[in-house]
Structure 1
Amino acid sequence: MVTIKNEYLTAKINELGAELKSLVCNDTEYIWEGRSEVWAGSCPLLFPICGGLKNDKYVLNGKEYTLEKHGYIRFKTFEVENKTDDSVVFLHKSDNETKEHFPFDYELRVIYTLNEKTLKIDYSVINKNDNTMYFSIGSHEGYYTPEGIEDYDVIFPQNETLNAYVLYGNLLSNQQLPIIKDQNYLPLYDKYFTVDALVFKDLKSKSATLRNRKTGKALRVDFPDDKYFLLWHKPNSPYICLEPWDG
Structure 2
Amino acid sequence: MSELTRISRGDITATIDSMGAQLMSLTCAGGEYLWQGDPSFWPRRAPVLFPIVGCLKNDEAMSAQGPVHLKRHGIARTREHSIVERSEPSVTFQLDSDEATRELYPFDFRLNMTYSTDGTSLAQRFAVTNTGDVDLPFTLGGHPAFNVPMPGAAGEAFDDYALVFAKAWSPSVPVIDEKGIHDFDRMTQLMKDSRELALSHELIDRHATLVFHDVPQSRVALVGKRSNHGVELEFPDFDYLGVWTASTEAPFVAVEPWHGCASAYDESGRFEDKRSTITLAPGERAELAFTVTPF
Q: Does structure 2 retain, via aligned residues, the 8 Å contact 1:2–1:12?
A: yes
Residue 74 in 1 paired to residue 77 in 2? yes
Whether the 8 Å contact between 1:166 and 1:199 is mirrored in structure 2 is: no
Instruction: Give 3-state SS (helix, strand or coil) of 2:175's partner.
Output: strand
Matching of residue 178 in structure 1 with residue 189 in structure 2: yes
Structure of greater relative contact order (alpha carbons < 8 Å, 6+ residues apart): 2
Identity %, equivalent residues = 30
Which position in structure 1 is the counterpart of 2:252?
A: 239
Give the CA deviation at 1:218: 2.2
Matched, 1:167 2:176: yes
1:44 to 25, 40, 47: 47
Residue deviations 1:215-237, cap 9 Å, x none?
Answer: 11121111101111111012221
The answer to whether the 8 A contact 2:66-2:106 is kept is: no
User: Mean Cα displacement is larger for which, 56-65 or 202-211?
Assistant: 56-65
Please tell me whether the aligned partners of residues 233 and 240 of structure 1 are also in contact (alpha carbons under 8 angstroms): yes
Verify the 8 A CA contact 1:227 1:246 in the aligned structure 2. Answer: yes
CA distance in 2, matches of 1:11, 1:119: 8
* Partner of residue 7, structure 2: 4
Q: TM-score, normalising length from structure 1?
A: 0.96
TM-score (norm 2): 0.81
Cα distance in 2, alignment partners of residues 63 and 155 from structure 1:
43
Equivalent residues in 2 for 1:48-67 (5 A)?
A: 48-61=51-64, 63-67=66-70
Match of 1:187 among 190, 198, 202: 198
**CA distance in structure 1 between the aligned counterparts of 2:68 and 2:112, rounded to whole angstroms:** 24
Residue 107 of structure 2 corresponds to residue 104 of structure 1: yes
Deviations 1:92-121 (A, max 9, x none): 111100000111111100111110211111
Farther-moved stretch of structure 1 (146-155 vs 183-192): 146-155
Structure-2 change in CA distance of 1:62 and 1:28 (3 Å): closer
Contact 1:142 1:242 in 2 (8 A): yes
Question: 1:117 aligns to what SS in structure 2?
Answer: coil
Residue type at the aligned position of 1:236: E
Question: Gaps (5+ residues) in structure 2?
Answer: 150-155, 261-295
For 1:179, the aligned partner's letter is: L
- Secondary structure, in 3 states, of the residue corresponding to 2:106? coil
CA offset digits 1:177-236 (Å, max 9, x no partner): 111111111110111122410111122231111111111112111110111111101222
In the alignment, does 2:129 pair up with 1:117?
no
Distance 2:79 2:157 in 1: 32
1:144 alignment partner in structure 2: 147
Shift of 1:25: 0.9
Aligned to 1:68, what secondary structure does the other structure show? Answer: coil
List aligned pairs for 1:195-214, cutoff 5 A.
195=206, 196-214=208-226
Q: C-alpha distance in 2, partners of 1:172/1:123?
A: 25
Cα RMSD of the aligned pairs, angstroms, is: 1.2
Give the Cα separation in 1 of the matches to 2:61 and 2:45: 28
Aligned mates of 2:86, 2:93 — CA distance in 1: 9
In 2, distance between residues paired with 1:61 and 1:44? Answer: 28
Whole-Å separation in 2 of the counterparts to 1:177 and 1:204: 18
1:25-62 superposed Cα distances (whole Å, 9 cap, x missing partner): 12210000012110011000100000111110111237
